[in-house]
């Protein structure tokens, strides 16, 4: 089961990476729950797609690389590297105007699957690092 679930997650990550949002429908259960979606947006695949479209407007050259994928039982953990350039403004990260600054950060996700379909997702993007890279947050200074 773990290997089959890992392949489903690989396919999902590839669809996100290639902006093929219609392909995602086959991998998610109708009662899919997004436990770490964008605050203020309802949980679910349609909201995740909307959030992805916002990201693609800000970073049209966004690319994702799978660094690790681990599956056990009904859960799959994936650690990815996200890169791109601020071409459209990223208001939600404090950089409302395009500034062509690069981003390069990690994103972690845990998918729970049942019958080959995703039923739950928890995720974490390193927004702190992205904000520093975008110039909207100054990194803390080390003690002298």
- Burial (0-12, 13-18, 19+ Cβ within 10 Å), 100: exposed
Residue 26 lies in a domain: yes
Range of the domain at 33: 2-134
The CATH number of whichever domain residue 20 belongs to comes to: 3.10.450.50
Residue 139 lies in a domain: no
For each of the chain's 144 residues, which pLDDT tens digit applies? 799 999 999 999 999 999 999 999 999 999 999 998 888 888 789 999 999 999 999 999 999 999 999 999 999 999 999 999 999 999 999 999 999 999 999 999 999 999 999 999 999 999 999 999 999 999 988 998
Which element (helix H / strand E) includes 131? helix 127-134
Give the span between the Cα atoms of 20 and 12, in whole angstroms. Answer: 9
What is the count of structural domains for the chain? 1
> What token pair was written down for 47?
């909201």
Residue 141 lies in a domain: no
> What token pair was written down for 77?
């953990």
């Amino acid at each position: 089961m773990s290997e089959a679930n890992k392949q489903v997650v690989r396919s999902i990550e590839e669809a996100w990476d290639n902006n093929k949002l219609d392909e995602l429908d086959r991998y998610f259960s109708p009662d899919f729950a997004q436990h770490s979606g964008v605050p203020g947006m309802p949980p679910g695949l349609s909201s995740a797609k909307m959030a992805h479209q916002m990201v693609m407007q800000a970073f049209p050259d966004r690319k994702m690389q799978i660094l690790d994928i681990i599956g056990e039982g009904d859960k799959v953990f994936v650690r990815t590297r996200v890169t791109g350039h601020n071409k459209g403004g990223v208001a939600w990260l404090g950089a409302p105007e395009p500034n062509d600054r690069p981003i390069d950060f990690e994103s972690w996700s845990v998918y729970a699957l049942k019958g080959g379909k995703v039923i739950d997702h928890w995720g974490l993007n390193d927004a702190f690092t992205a904000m520093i890279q975008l110039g909207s947050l100054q990194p803390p200074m080390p003690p002298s």
